[in-house]
Structure 1
Amino acid sequence: MTRHPAPDGVNTTVTTTRTDLAELAAALQSWLRTADDDPSVTVEDLTRSESSGMSSVTVLFTAVRGRDRSEQVLRLAPEPSALPVFPGYDLHRQAAVTGALADAGLVPVPRVRRVEESPEPLGRPFLVMDRADGTAPPDNPPYVFGGPFVDATPTERDRMQRASVALLAGVHATPPPDALRADGAAGTGLARLVDDTAGYYAWTVSEGGVRVPILEDGLRRLRDELPAQASPDVLAWGDARIGNILYRDFAPTAALDWEGAALAPPEYDAAWFVFFHRMYQDMAESFGKPGLPGFLRAADVLEQYRTDSGRTLHDMPYFLMLSAVRMGIIFARIKARSVHFGDTPAPTDPDEYVLHHRMLRTILDDRYEWEI
């Protein structure tokens, strides 16, 4: 997909790895020959994915076995020296979730072929999966600044929105794999999420980050205002957003990125789905761009989700605040890594480590209008 230019003032330089692709291709080819017990296997067209995430490194390649050409994806665990975004990266857990989704058949996902836990072949653990066809709305620069999703007709965007919310309902209707059931007793997902969020923030500070006052304000509110009751836990995506969905003709072809999957209330994913677009929409408007103001409106998403899933979601302002705080911690970590690699200077105000710190402040001050 052709990338649209970023507006002046938007930094799109994000270094996540120093991986040498030529060396990686040679090492991957050697590993495939051993794993397949086939010395004729070759690796061709190995390139870094344009939509490679902030946590892992995603590489596209073609595995050639005689006349058979198989387009595949390599996902590498983060380099320990590159300030990983998250403290852990459980490849078997990701594969288990993807397998459960594939078995249920409610959500299109690519097939995971192999998981390699040893760092010896490629320097880090990794998994290999089939490559799905389609295009994901980009994050860098965000899709709201221009491109095919902005240029789409209202009918096309409505079809995309309806199919995406239905996909989310399908995730939540999928029986969780045993790898998630081991997390804890049913019904405790929200408390675990808040504890995990606080623990994640503490880890980022201890591992080369800085203390961010606005995030600490948010964590206090999350603890103090924890709902007395939460919806029953479901298989939650953990990163439910259209940027993790591939589309063809505005219909989903694959759902990606399951490293954050957990047992959690469905509100967790629904709030993330709404929050992420609103964050990007606010960003577009701050740069004088129209963005997509009528797309993924909270009220529309929640009503359609109720229709598709049969569930009514509760306490959404709390879960939207949780999304804003949790994403703030992720952004603070990404900013710290950007400073580490020399992509950007360190902010003088620690709150500015959070890309959406102005939005987050209005949320914490109860001044943000979600239109629920």
Structure 2
Amino acid sequence: MAEQMRTSTRDLEELRDRMTAWLRGRVGADASVSELSRPTDNGMSSETLFLTATWGGRPTRCVARLAPAGEAVPVFPAYDLASQFEVMRLAREKAGIPAPRTLWFEPDPAPLGTPFFVMERADGLVPPDVVPYTFGGWLCEASPEEQRRLQESSVGVLAALHRAPFDAAELGRFGAAGLRAHVDAQYAYYAWAHGKRPIPLLERAFAWLEAHWPEHPGPDVLCWGDARVGNLMFRDFVPVAVLDWEMAAVGPRELDLSWMIFLHRFFQDLTVATGLPGMPGFMRAADVCRTYRELTGYEPRDMGFYEVYAALRHGIIMARVWQRRIHFGEQPDPDDPDDLVLHRATIERLLAG
């Protein structure tokens, strides 16, 4: 897990020159771009760049998000950067969530070869994906009280987003609402990502969902989509930035809750498999749901169904990421397509009850 996955095929020097030219067209001839770099410990989808943008004599630390180049074997079939830009603005203004302050959206692919947006960069600590935070580091080594503060404040982000007063027009830009529309979109994504080589385990999981469909799915809200602690930045174990909104959707609030719970379980299972204890008392389903209920008055339901769905969704993404690693010669192609799913054993246990 320590090896960095390749997420870009673009040259940094060329990007800096092109971004400088673009910024001068936006804010004036005195603008410059410096300290351009890529993050190394989180993110597997959109290309992320760190930079300092200077205009009017004032340097501003920024982050740019770019849709990946086609030759980079992108994780998702499409990257709606305009919606990502808008959902961060809405989350900040209407839900009071510390989403990054957005600066510019550029829909024209000409300046950098792809659409992109720029936002201000926040300061804080992010639980890493590589190596996962469950293996050690500041969060794993924090006191139980500090871990609980971080967990409860992370659930608080979901509570604030889900109860925010978004209107129908604002929600309409994030696709069809409801659990059925969400699952259908995930199957279409699976067919795009893996249609040339079906993955039987994931197809069994889709069949399991149909056989265990909730009788009354919960009310639809704006969901963050990629709701996990690795997409939060913290100071004093409280969120100061909410990152990565590319999976935002309108659906039952259990989509976010189960994703937050399962993504910790994913890292925890990997850690235990290496013989380390990890963080077994962190992000337990009962604790997360209790905190959410206390904050919102809403009782999460059908969480067993949503846990399987979260595991399936993550399986589609991880299998796509593994295919990208195979494409770039970073690992061999397995004989069994189910082995493309890193948490195969977890899904098999869930399907077996």
Which whole-Å CA distance do the structure 2 matches of 1:159 and 1:184 have between them? 34
The offset of 1:184, in angstroms, is 6.2
SS at 1:62 equivalent: strand
- Contact 1:115–1:126 (CA under 8 A) maintained in structure 2: yes
Residues 301-336 of structure 1 show CA distances to partners (whole Å, capped at 9, x for unaligned) of 000100011111110000000000010000010001
Q: Does 1:269 align with 2:253?
A: no
Contact 2:45–2:74 (Cα < 8 Å) also in 1 = yes
Identify which of 119, 137, 140 aligns with 1:147: 137
Partner SS for 2:139? helix
Partner SS, residue 44 of structure 1 = strand
- Residue identity over aligned pairs, in percent, reads 43
Report the residue type matching 2:108 in the other structure.
S
Instruction: Summarize deviations over 1:238-294 as a string: whole Å, max 9, x none.
Output: 111000100012111010111111111001100001001011111100001111111
Give the equivalent residue in structure 2 for 1:369: none
1:97 aligns with 2:87: yes
TM-superposed CA distance for 1:112, in Å, is 1.1
- Are positions 1:326 and 2:316 aligned together? no
- Counterpart of 1:244? 231
Instruction: Give the aligned length.
Output: 352
Contact kept in structure 2, 1:281 and 1:292, CA below 8 Å: yes
Amino acid at match of 1:357: R
Quote the residue 2:330 is aligned against: 343
The reply to whether residue 64 of structure 1 matches residue 54 of structure 2 is yes
Secondary structure of 2:105's partner?
Answer: strand
TM-score, length-normalised on structure 2? Answer: 0.96
Runs (5+) with no aligned partner, structure 1 = 1-9, 367-372
AA matched with 2:77: P
Q: Which runs of 5+ in 2 are unaligned?
A: none
User: Aligned-pair distance for 1:106?
Assistant: 2.5
Give the CA deviation at 1:67: 3.0
Q: 1:126 aligns with which of 116, 133, 137?
A: 116
State the alpha-carbon separation in 2 of the partners of residues 189 and 232 from structure 1: 8
Whole-angstrom distance in 1 between the partners of 2:233 and 2:225: 17
Q: Aligned equivalents of 1:219 and 1:59: distance in 2? A: 35
Partner of 1:41: 31
Instruction: Give 2:156's match in structure 1, choosing from 166, 185, 189.
Output: 166
CA distance in 1 between partners of 2:173 and 2:99 (Å): 23
Q: Deviations over 1:108-143 (max 9, x none)?
A: 111111111111100111000011111211111111
Residue 200 (1) aligns with residue 189 (2) = yes
Matches of 2:55 and 2:182, distance apart in 1: 44
Q: State the one-letter code of the partner of 1:12.
A: E
Q: Which string of whole-angstrom CA distances, capped at 9 and with x for unpartnered residues, describes residues 7-32 of structure 1?
A: xxx45231111111111111100100
Match of 1:112 in 2: 102
Partner of 2:221: 234
Aligned to 2:17: 26
- Give, in whole Å, the separation in 2 of the partners of 1:61 and 1:108: 20
Query: What TM-score, normalized by structure 1, do the two folds share?
Result: 0.92
1:182-331 matches, within 5 Å, as: 182=173, 188-206=177-195, 210-331=197-318
Query: Aligned equivalents of 1:75 and 1:117: distance in 2?
Result: 12
What is the match of residue 358 of structure 1?
345
Query: What is the RMSD computed on CA atoms of the aligned residues?
Result: 1.4
1:150 is paired with a residue whose SS is coil
1:83 lines up with 2:70 in the alignment: no
8 Å CA contact 1:109, 1:254 repeated in 2: yes
SS at match of 1:148: coil
Cα deviation code 1:28-71 (max 9, x no counterpart): 001000111x1111111111022452110111100122431100
8 A Cα contact 1:41 1:64, kept in partner: yes
- Match of 1:202, SS state, is helix
Secondary structure of the residue aligned to 1:149 is coil
Query: Once the 2 structures are TM-superposed, how far is the Cα of residue 105 of structure 1 from its aligned partner?
Result: 4.4
Letter in 1 for 2:128: P
Tell me the secondary structure at the aligned position of residue 127 of structure 1: strand
Inter-partner Cα distance in structure 2 for 1:210 and 1:174 = 41
> Take 1:51 and 1:176, find their aligned partners in 2: how far apart are those partners?
33
Residue 17 (structure 1) aligned with residue 4 (structure 2): no
Q: Deviations over 1:140-193 (max 9, x none)?
A: 1111011111111111111111111111111111234635325567xx510011
Distance 1:329 1:175 in 2: 32
Alpha-carbon contact 2:152-2:291 (below 8 Å) kept: yes
Residues 232 and 242 in structure 2, CA contact (< 8 A), matched pair in contact too: yes
